[in-house]
Amino acid sequence: MAKNKVNYEELGSIILPYIGGAENIYKLTHCATRLRFELKNREIVDIDSIKAIDGVIYVVEGGGQFQIIIGTNVQTVYKSLNRVLNSSDTENNPVSSSNKPAKKSLLERFMNTISTIFTPMIPAITGAGMIKAILAILVLTKAIDTNGHTYYILNMISDAAFYFLPMLLAYGAALKFECNPILSITLAGVLLHPSWIALVNGNEAASLFAIKLTLVDYSGSVLPIIITVWIQSFIEKYADKYSPEMIKFFTKPLITILLTGILALLFIGPLGSKLNDIVASAANILNDKVSWLIPLLMGALQPIMLLTGTAWSLTPIATMQIAKNGYEQVNGPGMLASNIAQGGATLAVALKAKDKELKQLAASTGFTALLGITEPSLFGVTVKLRTPLIAAMIGGGIGGIYAGLSGLVRYAFVSPGLTALPVFIGENPMNIVHAIITCIISFAVAFIVSFFITKIE
């Protein structure tokens, strides 16, 4: 029987009782398609009832989070659910250590940290990336003069999110490390202040309290601000604990900004910058030596990473690469192959299915996968039938090999798909050609394999 039309405004209220109520939620965030819960007691969650709710695509546990996949309407559900939580008697905040979630494994803590820090910045990076893609098309078609003020201003707008990346990351890091996000953003401003940049660009050595400063440009950096906010979280707690109540309003931010800012400029920033460069350089070397390996693994294993909640694992490296090189090779090429292969495998099911409901589901979700949103296809069709999932992994892997061998790169952070192909337009005019060929290979292999190995009852 076909599902009813979903009211996404009410979906959060419908889900809430089955997840244990507001009092069972320690923290709630969301990404492009998922509600991400950190729960106090996982045992009381009714997973089967949640899966049966109209509007819920699937439920996944991974990265230390309980994830409910909604699709592109997730923000509507998130906002409505937050309104319910904020009006509840129970605050959506930890009140004691006993209320915190059960201890997680090291991998779960790592994945949870990555997703919490990087998820909030995605809209800004995506928007800026699409502006860059549009500019690339305008330059390629000679529709805009690169020496004119129009190009200059539009390019400036597209660069802002990448230049001020530490500020975007500061907000996400503050959410993760549970400290004041405004103070965190202020500390990012310290690292990016024009006076500091003037010191970096100058020819003279500089010191602070007679300690020599390592002059580093932190624009577009990733690790320095994340480590800085982590240190801030400890200093802020101590400032809160030991400041007299009467003057805490100004002593707490004073101590936090002053001490953390000094430590950031003297020690944390240079250390984070060095680690940042090491990680980005290691990724570049790996791409130079075995260029096919990472796109192969990403193309083949992306569905499994989505299933296990580890899809964010390479996001920090990709972010570092884009900030340092202007493009990245670790996420985008393999994800393009995987997304298109997922669409191909699912559309083969649509062609082969006799059941009208399955045919419609596979056709709509397969098309959506080609556009870069694969969860409806993955959880609605390929995981349930299994063999199309295998076909998608084969197609994604083979497409990923071509992407790697051809040197395909992605110039901006947008979920790869047919509508996002402009993010593969850049200095190398053949890059977009290689992206299109990657799509053709991935789709064809996945479609053919899925069509012949899938048995539909």
Question: Which residues are catalytically annotated?
Answer: 31
* Sign of the dihedral defined by the CA atoms of residues 94, 62, 35, 11, in that order: negative
- 30 φ, ψ (degrees, to nearest 5): -150, 155
CA distance 201 to 193: 12
Strands 211-212 and 58-62: unpaired
Separation CA 197–CA 220 (nearest Å): 13
Name the E strands within 55-185: 58-62, 65-69
| Among the listed residues 254, 299, 307, the one whose alpha carbon sits nearest the alpha carbon of residue 62 | 307
Residues belonging to the chain: 457
Q: How far is CA 42 from the centre of its chain?
A: 25
- Reading the block at residue 131, the tokens are 């502006």
Q: How far apart are CA 403 and CA 336, in angstroms?
A: 9
Measured distance CA(244)–CA(240) in Å, rounded: 8
Q: How far does Cα 329 stand from its chain's mean position?
A: 15
Residue whose structure tokens are 């819960």: 37
Given a contact cutoff of 8 angstroms between Cβ atoms, the answer to whether 157 and 439 are in contact is: no
Specify whether the CB–CB gap between 120 and 72 falls below 8 A.
no
Cα distance between residue 51 and residue 59, in whole Å: 7
Closest CA to 397 of 336, 347, 454: 336
Cβ contacts of 210 within 8 Å, gap of 6 or more: none
CA distances to 180, 240, 364, 418 from 373, rounded to whole Å, are 33, 44, 11, 11
Q: Name the CA radius of gyration of the chain, rounded.
A: 24
Question: Residue 146 in 3-state DSSP?
Answer: coil
Alpha-carbon distances of 69 from 385, 395, 417, rounded to whole Å: 19, 24, 19
